[in-house]
Amino acid sequence: MTPRPGPTRFTGPQRFLLAGSFLITLGSFAVLPFMSVLLHQRLGLELGTVGVVLAVASLVQFAGGAVGGALAERVGLRRTMLLALVVRTVGFATFLPGLRHAYVAVAALFLVSCGAALYLPANKAYLVHHADKARRPLLLSASGSALNAGIALGPLAASPFVLSASAGLFATVTVLFAAVTAGHALLPTEAPGAAPVRPENEDGAPPPPPPTYAPPPTLLRRRRGRALTGPDVVPFAATVLSVHLFMFFQHYLALYAVPRTSTTYYGLVLALYALLLVVAQPLLSRWIAGLRYARALRLGFAAMALGMATLGIGNHAAVLAGAVLICFGEIVLFLKNDLEALARSPRAPAVVFGRQRLAAGLGAFTSGIAGGAGYQLAERAGHPGLFWLAVAAQCVVLPPLFAGALRNSPSYRTP
């Protein structure tokens, strides 16, 4: 007798996308965590300029998710993912001449960011489309684990080559993305707006077809007009703030940690950070899903505050301990914000994830602008650790201000 599949069983396309997510981040994070070092040390850009470049690239990568979500809803998830991967492959190939010309490297970074903006909303929507609400935490946490497994190995594998053999590294990443793109071409094609993946029920039987009812255009217009009003605005704003605080760590840890440790140790810290995400996020997904939203936000921001303050100590142990604390904050905040956005919005998952990427882009942009100038100021003062204390202070002060502003917002009070 064939055993019944459990609720954790993934379909073939879902398994492929999870494997593809691992390979995509493996290639991306072999390069992207070292961009501040490459732009500043190898290509000679000023730190202030590096901050602006990273801020604009992050804005394109994240905020462009709104375009990616809308495109996926119109032309289909598979087509959108293919277009995105072609753009990213061209972007990594463009880094090869960019190793000699700063403006070409910046253009390559923007191409890679555009590809990520188009890809991620469609990828997440492919995973959760028509999945039961109870399965969404597992699917999203599995996606996060696949992404972070690539993040774990990418910097560690690339750290010996990122400055000494950059051309070979970028060529390898380009070939990897070309292969992943070819694999995506074999995924099942879905009609625009249709569900590409329909998981089985626990008894092995296919699920019933989705309802054929289509809301009238006036109702759709009313829903779209209220997409970011009332409770819908809360996870959007929380994501802006979460990413704003997290991206200080993402963008500027390399500049801080490498001179005080080494590129190998920095790569090892990122690897351990990502491996912790891989293991802990699925294990904690059900617990996080059951948390009251306000409590999840308090826990996540408190962990980030402690982690940023710990980084300010500046030795090997502090860098590792600070990263672990920030990792816990990321697990709680990022997963809970996505789950709340899905639960509160009437729109299709691709559009919801696209708007969450837009929120992340806004947060990353403000972080990049403030971080470049702030880190340069702390470095010139001779105390770079003060930069992390200032970020920790933001983790304490900004969440209550954000909550108060939302409670007083007319859009939040709109029924």
- Full 3-state SS string of 85-102: HHHHHHHHHHHHHHCCCH
Report the alpha-carbon distance of residue 392 to residue 326 in Å, rounded.
11
Q: Which domains does the chain have, with CATH numbers?
A: 12-198+230-407 (1.20.1250.20)
| pLDDT at residue number 68 | 85
**Which residues of the chain carry a pLDDT beneath 50?**
1-6, 191-227, 410-415
186: left (phi over 0), alpha (psi -120 to 50) or beta: alpha
Full-model pTM: 0.69
Task: Name the one residue in this structure whose structure tokens are 């094609």.
Answer: 189
The radius of gyration of the chain from alpha carbons, rounded to an integer in Å, stands at 21
| pLDDT at residue number 188 | 77
204: left (phi over 0), alpha (psi -120 to 50) or beta: left
| pLDDT at residue number 74 | 84
CA pseudo-torsion sign 59, 60, 61, 66: positive
| pLDDT at residue number 223 | 43
| pLDDT at residue number 86 | 95
| pLDDT at residue number 150 | 79
Cβ(79)–Cβ(363) below 8 Å: no
Count CA within 13 A, CB hemisphere, residue 409: 18
| Reduced 3-state DSSP string for the chain | CCCCCCCCCCCHHHHHHHHHHHHHHHHHCCCHHHHHHHHHHHCCCCHHHHHHHHHHHHHHHHHCHHHHHHHHHHHCHHHHHHHHHHHHHHHHHHHHHHCCCHHHHHHHHHHHHHHHHHHHHHHHHHHHCCCCHHHHHHHHHHHHHHHHHHHHHHHHHHCCCCCCCHHHHHHHHHHHHHHHHHHHCCCCCCCCCCCCCCCCCCCCCCCCCCCCCCCCHHHHHHHHHCCCCHHHHHHHHHHHHHHHHHHHHHHHHHHHHHHHCCHHHHHHHHHHHHHHHHHHHHHHHHHHHHCCHHHHHHHHHHHHHHHHHHHCCCCHHHHHHHHHHHHHHHHHHHHHHHHHHHHHCCCCHHHHHHHHHHHHHHHHHHHHHHHHHHHHHHHHCCCCHHHHHHHHHHHHHHHHHHHHHHHCCHHHHCC
| pLDDT at residue number 325 | 95
Structure tokens at 46: 């000023």
| pLDDT at residue number 407 | 65
| pLDDT at residue number 268 | 84
Report the alpha-carbon distance of residue 188 to residue 200 in Å, rounded.
17
